[in-house]
Structures are given as C-alpha cells and as structure tokens.
Chain A
Amino acid sequence: MLRWILGTRGPHGSAENRCAAVCIGEQQPKNIYTELQVLRGHFDIVRFLVQIDDFRFASAGDDGMLIVWNVELWDTDTGQRLCAVSNLQSSIKCVLVLDHLDVFLTGGSELCVWNKEFQLQCKTVHYRDSDITALVDLPKCCVAAAMDKEIVIFKLNLSEPETSIMAVCQLTDHQDTIRALIRVNDDLFASGSHIGEVILWDTLDWTIQAYERICWEEPDREGQSELKMGQQRQTDATIQHLYTDGERVVAAVGSGLFVYSTQMKRVMAYRKFAHDSDVLYTTLLHNGQVMSCSEDGSVRIWELQELPLPAEPASSGFFGLFSTIGKSSKQGSVPSKKLPEVSGLCSLELVGDLIGHSGAVQMFLSFGKRGVVTCSADHLLIVWKDGERESHLRSLALFLKMEEKGCL
C-alpha cells in the first residue's frame, strides 16, 4: 500500500500475521462513517465523554475542563465551555450516584456516603492497603466495591436516624487485581481482573454465575492460523474494559476483544489481536456492531458474524483457548460448556476502522444514527457521521431555508 513511500515499514501485506488479521484496507463498504468533524477545545488529553441527551455530550480531560458539545450542529464553534473542574482529589477513584436514595458514594481509600448537599453522611473505616477502584450499584441498598483482588459488598442503612454503611460480604475469587466492575442486568454484575478473569456474579446472593479465564498464552494447536502468534511472549490479558447491553458482555482484553453471552453463559466471539495496542474502550452499537478503540489511535468496528456450522465438532477447539474452568464455588454451579453447541458462536469480523486521531483514543460515545464521538490523547474530539444521512439532512435544511426565503 504505502510501502512505496515508507520503504519496508508497511502496515499492510507484511509478513506479520498479526497485521494481516486486523487490517481491512481502504475498501470498507459496511463502514457508514463517511464524514467527520474535528472538535477542538481541549488543551490536553481528553479522557472522558458523558452523554447528556440525544444531541449533547460533555467531554473532560487532563486540562481540567469540561466542555459541552452538540453533535447535530455543523458549526464547530458552538461547543460551550461550561466550567473548569478543579483538581480532582487523587484519593477518590470512583463515584457512584444512587438516584433512588438521593445519595452519592465516593470510593478511594475509604468509602464515603454523601447527600445531595455534599454533606458527608458516613464513611467506612480505612482497613485495607488498597483503594476502592470501582463501585457498582446492587439491589437492596447494596453496593459492590472493587478493592484490589476482592469485591466487598457494602450495605447502606438509611432508615436509622444516622446513615451507616457496613461491609457485609467479601468475595475473594479473583486471583489478581480487579480492573473492571459493571452491572450487567438486574440479576448479574460482572468483574474483570488483571490476569483475564471475568466473573459474573448474582446481584442478590453474590454468588458466581460464571467464570472465564482468558489465557491467551495457551493457544490451541487446532486454532486458526491467525491466532497462532504470540506463543513466545506473555500476552497481556488484562481486562481493560467491560461493556454490556444486558445480554452480552464485551470485554477488552489486552489488545483483544471478547464477547460473552450472559444467556448462554459462554463466549460468543473473540478476537485475540483486535488492535495493535491495548484496547481502551469498547461498546456495542445500536446495530449490533462492536466498536473498540485503542491506544494505537484507531477505532475499529466489528461485526458479529455467524460462523458457518462446522461439519465436525472438531471446531470445539475454539473453546480450548479458554481454560473454561467450571469452578464450582460455594453455591454457584457453572453450566457445562463442553457441549458442541455451536449455534451461537460468531466471529468478530472487522468491517471498518476510523482513522483520524494521532494519539490514543481514550473513549467514545455512540449517538446511534447521529454518529460516534471519539476523544483522544491528541486533545481532539472527532465526530464521525454517516455521510449519506448528513447529506440528506443538509438537503432538508436547504429546502427549508428556501421555503423560509420564499423561493419554493
């Protein structure tokens, strides 16, 4: 492709299989994002995006600014700078807002409960070496907090004259530091650890519903050729991010992707090398596509494609990749997954990539048909839009303006 310019350093067509597996080239008929808009405003790495409503979102970054943008406007100058957030206290690692209880919790070295007036209601004692890194809301006034290798369930007591919070349970099944903790649906919440463990927990009795250990370094001999690399090195299998739409859990594992079905309690699809570098954020798009962004500066769009039914159950070797340990813990029983039920098995096919950022893409937000906003370490935000839709909208605006001017 560009080897004629770059000499031998071509990302495409090189001997490296790893690239061959994930490069799509320039022909991307399924990629609808054919228009982009660069939003400037930040002066440092943009790390977070929060959707406000159907059109607006806020971005925050290392420059301590929070900017509110509108995705529908074509004018790039309309981003309103709302306020500058003061230096964040490093001791607070996570915030959880409990709307139904009118309180919010902050996690750090200790767990604090605040009311709407920012008054401290109560807090836990600092009894661990490690801080609380993630918080998730659970039913019955409970919250789950991730602390290093443990998940601690706290119960909030608001009925008494004095609000109190106390630990009720400790889940110590993870073998390494917990990196991600999310609520999947009413029944489940999930956690992911540094060494690639993903555990699904029951929200009520906090039992393990499913346990997956993703071990990239144990490739199966019968695995597809594209996955044969990386045998020598200890591939990073850190669960960087978890995303769920209630049924499926997408995990960013190192530079790979992993889609888990909570209904079937097993892996639906995976891609070991989805990006050239660590995947930082993933999401499931409105059309069922999976989108991931990475430190390599790219955003990739994946489609879950049904694999053709294999003639023989030999393809169950797929599962060999994962040491699916039916870890029979206390109450939970992991259903057997050795069955050759391949109907739900899909492959993650790259259908498009969005190249634009020159730094790591930290996060993105999907606005459905209106497009996707990405934020990056290069201080920019990019809105990716469906070119055809935008063109149509402009035509509408054109005729509307003509009507206003009385030309029609």
Chain B
Amino acid sequence: MIGSPDVVAFTKDDDFGESYIDPCSLPEEFSVPLFPHANSNPWLKTSYAKFSKDFILISEFSEQVGPQPLLTIPDDSKVCGTFDLNYFSLRIMSVDYQASFVGHPPGTSYPKLNFVEDSKVVLGDSKEGAFAYVHHLTLYDLEARGFVRPFCMAYISADERKIMQQFQLLSSSFSQASECLKSGNRKAFATELEKKLRDLEYTRSVLHKETELQKTNSGCYSTQVIEKANELANVEKSIYEHKDLLRQITSYPNSKRRNSDQTQCEMKNEGETTSVDQTLSSNHSGDEDKPVETDSGSQHSSYTPQLIKAKSAKCFDKRLKTLEELCESGFFHQTMDQLNTIEKALRGDLCFIYTSQVYRALLRNQKITSFLFESEQDHEEEEGSSKNFYDPNHATRYASSEFSGEPVSLDSYTAYVERSQNKLVLEAVDRPPDSSTSDVTQETSDAEMKGSFSSDRSMEAFIHLSPGNPDVFLKTSTACSVTSSGEPGSVVSVAVAASRKQSSSPERDSDLDHVFETGNLVPMDTACCMGQDGFIFDEPLPEPVQKCYEDTVVKHEPLPLLQRDPAVQTDYILGESFLTVPSPSMGLMLPDGNPSPLSEEMVKLNMDDISDNVSYLSTSTSSDRAASPFTYGSPVTLKQKKKAGHSALRFIRHYPFAQQAIFCLLSGRTLVVLGADEGTVRKLVNALLIFVPNLGRYGESVQPWLSTSFQLSDLQRWKLIGLQRVGSPAGSSLLHSLSRYSRYIGILDCDNKTLRCPAYKGTLIGHMADHRTQIKRGSTYYLHVQSILTQLTAKAFLYTFCHHLHLPVSTDQDADAVVAGRTNFLLQLGYTEEESKIICFLSELIKQHYIQGPLKGGSQSYFSFSYISSYLYKI
C-alpha cells in the first residue's frame, strides 16, 4: 500500500540514498530545482498545489454519507481551486485512531460517554500536493449513532515544513478552537438531553394514564396492557439512561479540571452547565408524579413536551444537526473567529512567519522605545483579530443569542491564547532548523512506521508522545523536514497523538502544565526553552489591551452538506421541515454565487500577494481603508507603512532635498507640506509618514490635509502637516501663520518644489535617502529605512539611559562637565551636530514616554525647538 515515491522520500537521506552520488551532478547548492511552473513565483510553494493558498477545512465523518467537507476558512472557492475537498476529507477522516467509544461498555447496562482527548495528526498527500495538520474531535449528538459525531478541523498547506514547524502553534490554537466548540457542544447536548427527558417524562405520564385506563377497562393481564407496560418500562429505562447521560455531561468539567488545565472559557461554562443541571435535577428529582407541571418554574417553559414514539426513527430518515446547531451559535461563531485568526496568523511563507515571529518576540522586549518607529499593532493586529469577541457588533449579535453573558468569558481566554502562542513562537524559533537527525528519531519513526496505517499514496507515522519523552516531537519534526526537503513529491505524515492518558506521573504532568499554561499542548522539555536566551520568560507578557476592530469577517452558516449532494439535503428538508422549524442556515449558500465582501477581499489580497509578496501581516479588512493610502483616525498598519515606503522611495528619487525634509521630521521640527492639490499633498504626507517618530497608533502626529490656518498648539500635536495653499484672501491668514511660525517648521512646497528648513550636513540620512538608491521595491525600502531608524532608536536609548551622561558621577563634577561629556558621547557615536539633535529629540521622547507612560506619551505636552537659520532648497 505504501506508494513508491513516499518510500523514496523517507529513505532519501539514509545510507541507501547517499550510497550513490552522480559524478556529473552539480553540487546541491548550485543545482536549480526543476520547477514545473516556470512563470510562477518559485518561492511560493503553493504553486504546484491545486489550491492557491493555505486554508482551514472542517470535515465531518457523517454516519449517513461518510466523510464530507463542511466548510472552509476562508470561505472562498478560489482558495481551494480544483482541490478535491471530498477526497481530502476522506483522507483526513480516515486517520482518526482515537478510541472514541461511546456505547454500552461491558459490565454496565447504560451508555457511557467517553470524554476523549482530541487527536492531532499531520498528514500529507503527494498527489494533491497538500499537507495538513488535522485536529480530530468528537461532538455529542443525542440523535447520532453512539451519541457522537466525529469532526475534524484541518489546516491545509502546500508547504509541509510550515505544518511541521508551526505544529505547536497549530496544535495550541486548534485546541483552543476545539475546546470552544466542545464547550458549546456540551451545553447544547445538555439542553437537548433536558428536552428529551421532558419528552420522555411526558410520554411516560401519558402511557401511565393509558395503562391505568386499560387496566380498569380490560383487566390487568390483557395483551394491550402488557404491551403498554413494556412500553412504559422502556420509557422508564430510557429516562434513566438519559438522566445518567445528563449527569455525565454536566459532571464533565469537574472531572476534567482535575486532570488538565482547562481554558477559562471552560470554567465559565461549567458554572452555567451546572446551573442547568441544578434546574434539571430540581425538576426531575422529587415530583415525578406530576412531570408535566414542573415546566412552570423552568427557564425553558416555552418548550412543550412531545410524545415520543416507542420506536425511534430510522437512522437515515432524520436530519442530522448542523455544526452550528450542535454547538450553539455563539460558541460556533467564536470558534469560527478563532479559526479565522489562525488562518490570518499563518498566512504567507514559512520564512516570513518565522521572521515575523522573531520580530514580534524581539519587539516585545523593546517596550521602552518601540513607540518611536514601530507600529505597535504589528503584532496586535493579529492578536486583535482574535479579540473579535469584544467587537460591539459581535457583542450585540451574541446578546441576541441565548446566552448573552457567554462571550465575555473569553476575555481571559484570548489572553491565554496569546500567552501560549508567544511561547510557542519562541519554541519554534529557537530550534535550529537543520539540526542533525538523531538516532532517537530514526528509531522512533522507524518503529512507528512499521505499525502505521497507510493509504495508497501516503502514509502516516504515529508517534505517541508522552511527557517522559518530550524531545521526540522536536527531533522528529526536524528530522522529517530534513528528510523530505527538496523533494516536492514526497509524502510525509506524522501523526502525533498527544494523549494525556499516557502520562506516567501526574506531578510531572501538572508541572508541565504550569510551564506552558495550557492544557492541550504537546508537552515539551522545559529545559530546552529555559536554556535559550530566555527572553520571553524573564518578564510578564504584556496585558492584552482591548481594542475594537471593525472586523467584518463574513460568517457563513455551516452547510450540512455541500452542494454536491443536493438531493440528499432536499430530502432532509422535506423530511424534517414539518417537525422542526428549519433554521435559516438551511438555505443553500453556494460559495460561487455568493458575492461576499470576503471574496472581494481575497481577490485583493491575492493581488497584494503578487505585487508585494512580503505579505499579509496586517490585513485591513475594510476595503476602502486599504485603498486610501492614509486615513486619519484609523490605525496605521504595517501594510500602509510599506505602501508608504513606495511613495517615500519616489520622493527621495524626485526631490534632491529629501534628506533635509527627513532631517526636519527626525529632529522633531514640524514639516508642513504645502500645495494646492490635495492628492499631491496627501501623497507626499503619506510618503513622509514613515519618518515621523512617535507616529502614534492612529497616526495622531500627522495631519494629512488641513485647509485652515494652524495654531501653535497644532505644532505641538502634529509633526507632519499637509496644508492647502489657498489663493483667495483666506489664504493670506494661512500664509501669515506660516511665516509667523516659520522658525518652528520646515515648509515643503509641492507646487514650486522648494523646501525651506534648517540645513543638514551629515551622512546618516544620506544612507536613508540616497536618491540614487538601487532599491526598487517600496517594502524593501521601508525595511531599509526601518533598520536605520532602529539603529537610531538604539543609540537614543543608550543616550537616554546612560546615567553619567545626564547626572554628575561625583560631586566635584560640575554641570558643564556633564554637558561636555554628553556632547562628546554623541560625537563618539559618530554623529554630527545635526544628527545629535535627532538623538536628543528621540531621547526626549523616550524620557517622556517612560515618565508619563505609554498612555500619555502619544501627545506631547510641550514642544521644543531651536533657533537656527533655515535655508531655501530648490530642485
């Protein structure tokens, strides 16, 4: 069953592969990999796959139709392309080895719910060019066979290394999503059981009456009476069973919590569920004689119990619940939001993800200076999108759902996601990507391979990880990636079942939990994280700040079936519609015909991807925002800044005095861009945006277009102003203010192409704004600028926090000596007098930011300047 290409892939780096070296072949570093699609981007691994980019697939192993795809994130047909979702669903659903047995275990006569762990599997399919992280989970459904519905969520990517190396992140974030889904499911299941119990009790009372009636009519031992009695006994038994199930499901969180860390979300739900349980028990415990009347005090009093037929409907006759129905829509939407977040966070090339993860980890340590040039939302953007739960729109939507209080509970939940993500990021980063293959790995994978299941085109190796052997995962993943690298056709799949049940010692288990603060992570050796620089552990991670994003992610209702089986679905509708009110989700929503804004967004993103393949770190979801270069009042994103880099590149090419203008901005002198045409002015402001220190989250330091005269206090607020040149008498006051405050500003006249500002003599800004620069791309230029600005920031940091530069070391040292030392220090750093001004300005900003805190640091309360002559520069 193991396909030959797969075997070759696995054995390539073994002695079998290395034994023969072709003398004619070029050394590996010179060889050009044969690439099937010559005109596409060679760096984009997805190009040979049938889908355009990574996506998340949710599939179900339906007891009626078998494995079927339910939905994809992003929900856009273009993403999947010609990729066969049905086939892939079959593939991924066939690997669930989790013994999720629910039924009548031997020895007991009642059905027992098994609270099974999710299983996490990585598998690949060489034919499809797809690799997937597959997260299996089971949800409870009273109507389903054995009360369970197996589902799986899969992250599908064409880049296998991405899956392997981001496994931790995928694992933890999918576990969060899964927990959320399961919490909702338990709640829904409990509600369903409750309803069923009422039905049963109602049925029992009816049957009881009928039996009594028949007893009086036709004596005790007539066949009818006996039949009724049997029926009654069945109902009684059923009631007992259902009560037992209810007890089990409501007791879940308590037992669960003892074993592993549950998310806060879970904790909250527990409270709710227990309360449900209490109402239930109060309803059903004492007064069984009058079961019907117990509804009066219940919160679900609107529900009218129904008579239940003795024989249950055939399996294929009933309509199975949709995923949303299974999980309560609030939880379902939260899960979808989380999955969307995951999808967004993992967009792009692996290398890019790595870099940004390192970048974010480093940035987190620069809280003192990062406000200067870093756009803070670089990382918050993603985290922020996971905070969709706080979005007022969402809140209202949730409020309309049954349990309005619920989403709030995710507050700490998201914080938790972030924390665990942060750590995982480091894990992934710290690991050397090309470490040598260890013996352990080989043994393990070999051993597992023997017993592994394989389809005709691929195989899955299972490695059971126990806390006792924590290194295995790391090494295995590395090993696998090494083995298969450069072999696009290879198929490697490693299934990792992080089963906690195998944990040998509970103490160790809890220790690990403590370290990772997460319940569903694959345990890893704590030493390997602490042994590194440890820069993530040495200080508490930033508190998540609640931010409202107008994130308009379109949510599609989960389809019970894809449109490929319309007949079956209509069947369901016809069969069930008179029994239950059809949910709005029943309507067929064809992804193709759905003109959702999301798909437009996707197209745009694809365009961006082509134009600038660096990325999607921050994707503004509102299209108009993305279209305009810079809009005041909305957060300035990294993407906008990168686009600004393009304009900035043009600016430095076209204006020989760009250096002076940049000097103005860096030294804190407000630059006024004067012009008659709004577009030109805005464009220039946008170009210069990247040089403004302490730009502010929403670009508060910039006023892109002003048509009235400005005041002195405006100069205090804005460091870059786009000013309209007016010809009318109204313009004279404008010009008057310009001339009046000319000592505090630099004036860039776009119409006459002149600049009036102090002189700059130095080389530093020359590096930044060389008009003969070879840099072609805006984003590259932005990064180039950013690197120089980072250097400046570092120097400013040093300058600010060097004690002896500001305070006398000894008592005999007078103030002048300190000043001299300060000047000397800056000279030694290689800065000219003008450049020292930049450092001093940045230093003042840092001081203020440090003293007053980041909240007030945004707006400067004072405004400093210097009395130096300005010069007029012309092209």
Do A and B belong to a common assembly?
yes
0/1 interface trace, chain B 837-852, chain A, CB 8 Å (1 if under): 0001000100110111
Contacts of A392 in B (CB 8 A): 806, 815
Q: Which residues of A contact B861 (CB under 8 A)?
A: 37, 74-76
Measured between beta carbons, the chain B residues less than 8 angstroms from A390 are 862, 864
Interchain CB contact (< 8 A) of B742 among A2, A391, A398: A2
Q: Mark B668-691, 1 if CB is under 8 A from A, else 0.
A: 000000100000000000000000
Contact present for A398 and B851 (CB under 8 Å) = yes
Contact A35 B865 (CB under 8 A): yes
Interface residues of B in 651-668 (CB under 8 A from A): none
> For residue A32, which residue of chain B has the nearest CB?
B867
Contact with A along B850-875 (1 / 0, CB 8 A): 11100010000111111111101000
B233 within 8 A of A: no
Least CB separation from A27: chain B residue? B869
Distance to closest chain A CB from B422 (angstroms): 23
Known contacts A358-B740, A401-B850; decide if A394 and B844 are in contact (CB<8 Å): yes
Q: Does B260 belong to the interface (CB within 8 Å)?
A: no
Does A406 sit at the interface, judged by CB under 8 A? no
A interface majority secondary structure: mixed
CB distance from B47 to the nearest CB of A (A): 51
Q: Name the one of B739, B803, B851, B865 contacting A5, with C-beta atoms under 8 angstroms.
A: B739
A11 on the B face (CB < 8 A): yes
Q: How far is the CA of A36 from the CA of B815 in the complex (A)?
A: 23
Give the residue among B756, B803, B864 with the most A Cβ atoms within 10 A.
B864
Contacts A27-B869, A382-B712, A394-B847: A36 and B863 contacting too (C-beta < 8 A)?
Answer: yes
Say if the beta carbon of A311 comes within 8 Å of chain B: no
Contact residue among B741, B747, B851 (Cβ-Cβ distance under 8 Å from A355): B741
Q: Which residues from B are CB-within-8-Å of A81?
A: none
Among B803, B851, B864, the residue within 8 A (CB) of A387 is B864
Does A4 interact with chain B (Cβ within 8 Å)? yes
Q: Is B743 an interface residue (CB 8 A)?
A: yes
A97-119: which residues lie under 8 A (CB-CB) from chain B?
A: none
Supposing A1-B742, A358-B740 touch, asked if A394 and B869 sit within 8 A by C-beta, the answer is: no
Contact with A along B143-182 (1 / 0, CB 8 A): 0000000000000000000000000000000000000000
Among residues of A, the one whose C-beta sits closest to the C-beta of B851 is A397
* A12 CB to nearest chain B CB (Å): 9
B862 and A26 form a contact (CB under 8 A) = no
Q: Which B residues are CB-close (under 8 A) to A356?
A: 712, 741
A residues 162-178 in Cβ contact with B at 8 Å: none
A26 and B742 CA atoms in complex are apart in Å by 9
Could you tell me which residues of chain A, from 36 to 54, have a CB within 8 Å of some CB in chain B? 36-38, 40
CB of B712 within 8 A of CB of A26, answer no
Partner of B867 from A5, A28, A394, A402 at Cβ < 8 Å: A28
- For chain B, residues 714 to 763, give those with C-beta under 8 angstroms from any C-beta of chain A: 716, 735, 737-743, 747, 749, 752, 754, 756
- Given A5-B738, A27-B868, A394-B848, the answer on whether A35 and B862 have CB atoms closer than 8 Å is yes
Query: Which residues of A6-41 have CB atoms within 8 Å of chain B's CB atoms?
Result: 6, 11, 25-29, 31, 34-38, 40
* Alpha-carbon distance A356/B744, docked complex (angstroms): 10
Across-interface contacts of B737 in A (CB, < 8 A)? 358
Please report the total number of B residues contacting A with Cβ < 8 Å: 44
Instruction: For A297, give the chain B residue with the smallest CB separation.
Output: B740
| Contact across chains for B739 and A399 when beta carbons are under 8 A apart | no
Answer yes or no: B807 CB below 8 A from chain A CBs. yes
CB proximity of A115 to chain B, nearest CB, Å: 44
Determine whether the beta carbon of A358 is less than 8 Å from that of B806.
no
Task: Check A38 against B864 for contact (C-beta < 8 Å).
Answer: no
CB distance from B675 to the nearest CB of A (A): 12
- Nearest B residue to A382 via CB reads B712
User: Which A residues are CB-close (under 8 A) to B217?
Assistant: none
Query: In the complex, how many angstroms separate the beta carbon of B750 from the nearest chain A beta carbon?
Result: 13
- Min Cβ gap A21→B in Å is 19
Q: Is there an interface contact between A398 and B800, defined as CB atoms closer than 8 Å?
A: yes
Contact of B803 with A29 in the complex, beta carbons under 8 Å: no
Contacts of B740 in A (CB 8 A): 297, 355, 358
**A399 CA to B844 CA, complexed, in Å:** 13
Separation in Å of the B833 CB from the closest CB of chain A?
13
- Complex CA gap A6/B852 in Å reads 41
Shortest CB distance A384–B (Å): 10
Instruction: Tell me whether B302 is interfacial, beta carbon within 8 Å.
Output: no
Contact of A2 among B739, B844, B856, B869 (CB under 8 A): B739
User: Nearest Cβ in chain B — how far from A27, in angstroms?
Assistant: 5
Hey, which chain A residues are within 8 Å of B806, CB to CB? Answer: 392, 395-396, 398-399
Taken together as a complex, chains A and B put the C-alpha atoms of A5 and B726 apart, in Å, by 12
Say yes or no for B400: interface residue by CB 8 A criterion.
no
Which of A6, A25, A36, A392 has most chain B Cβ within 10 Å?
Answer: A36
Q: Is B299 an interface residue (CB 8 A)?
A: no
Interface residue? B713 (CB, 8 A): yes
Check B25 for interface membership: any CB of A closer than 8 A: no
Whether B747 contacts A5 by the Cβ 8 Å rule is yes
Nearest A residue to B712 via CB reads A356
- A399 CB → nearest B CB, Å: 6
Asked whether B851 lies within 8 Å of A394 as measured between CB atoms, the reply is: yes
Q: Which of B739, B756, B803 has the most CB of A within 10 A?
A: B739
State whether the Cβ of B711 lies closer than 8 Å to any Cβ in chain A.
Answer: yes
Q: Provide the bound-state CA to CA distance between A290 and B570, in Å.
A: 94
Instruction: Tell me if B749 and A5 are in contact (CB < 8 A).
Output: yes
Residue A385, interface by CB 8 Å:
yes
Residues of A within 8 A of B819 (CB): 388
Assuming the contacts A5-B735, A392-B806, asked whether A34 and B867 have C-beta atoms less than 8 A apart, the reply is yes
Specify which chain B residues have a CB less than 8 angstroms from the CB of A6 in the assembled complex. Answer: 735, 739
Q: Is A352's beta carbon under 8 Å from chain B?
A: yes
> In the complex, what residues of B have CB within 8 A of residue A408's CB?
803
Choose among B749, B806, B819, B868 the residue with the greatest number of A CB atoms under 10 Å from its CB: B806
A358 and B712 form a contact (CB under 8 A): yes
When the two chains form the complex, which single residue of A2, A27, A74 contacts B862, counting CB atoms closer than 8 Å?
Answer: A74
CB-defined contacts of A395 to chain B, threshold 8 Å: 800, 806-807, 847
The reply to whether A31 and B867 form a contact with Cβ atoms under 8 Å apart is yes
B862 touches A34 (CB 8 A): no
CA distance A37 to B743 in the complex (A): 16
Q: Which of A31, A36, A398 contacts B847 (CB 8 A)?
A: A398
Known: A31-B867, A395-B807. Contact between A355 and B743, CB under 8 A? yes
B756-780, CB < 8 A from A = 756
B864-A34 in contact (CB<8A):
yes
- The reply to whether A2 and B865 form a contact with Cβ atoms under 8 Å apart is no
Distance A264 CA – B801 CA, assembled complex (angstroms): 53
What is the CA–CA distance of A194 and B180 in the complex, to the nearest angstrom? Answer: 85
Closest to B800 in A: A398
Tell me the complex Cα distance, A167–B739, Å. Answer: 54
Residues of chain A with a CB closer than 8 A to B756's CB: 2, 4-5
From B747, B856, B870, A26 is in contact (CB under 8 Å) with: B870
Closest to B859 in A: A76
The complex places the Cα of A1 from the Cα of B739 at a distance, in Å, of: 9
> In the bound complex, how far is the Cα of B735 from the Cα of A1, in angstroms?
13
Q: How far is the CB of A380 from chain B (nearest CB, A)?
A: 8
Which residues of chain B are near A76, meaning CB under 8 Å? 861
Choice from B712, B856, B867 contacting A38 with Cβ under 8 Å: B712
Which chain A residues border B862 with CB–CB below 8 Å? Answer: 35-37, 74, 385, 390
* B716 CB contacts on chain A under 8 angstroms: 38
Task: Give the distance in Å from the alpha carbon of A28 to the alpha carbon of B806 in the complex.
Answer: 25
Contacts of B741 in A (CB 8 A): 355-356
Q: Name A's B-contacting residues (CB within 8 A).
A: 1-2, 4-6, 11, 25-29, 31, 34-38, 40, 74-76, 297, 352, 355-358, 380, 382, 385, 387-388, 390-392, 394-399, 401-402, 408
Q: Can you list 7 A-B pairs with a CB-CB distance of less than 8 A?
A: A26-B870, A37-B861, A38-B863, A380-B713, A387-B865, A394-B851, A395-B847
Give the 6 A-B residue pairs with the shortest CB-CB distance, closest first.
Answer: A28-B867, A395-B806, A35-B864, A2-B739, A38-B713, A394-B847
B→A interface (CB under 8 Å): 674, 711-713, 716, 735, 737-743, 747, 749, 752, 754, 756, 800-801, 803, 806-807, 815, 819, 840, 844, 847-848, 850-852, 856, 861-870, 872
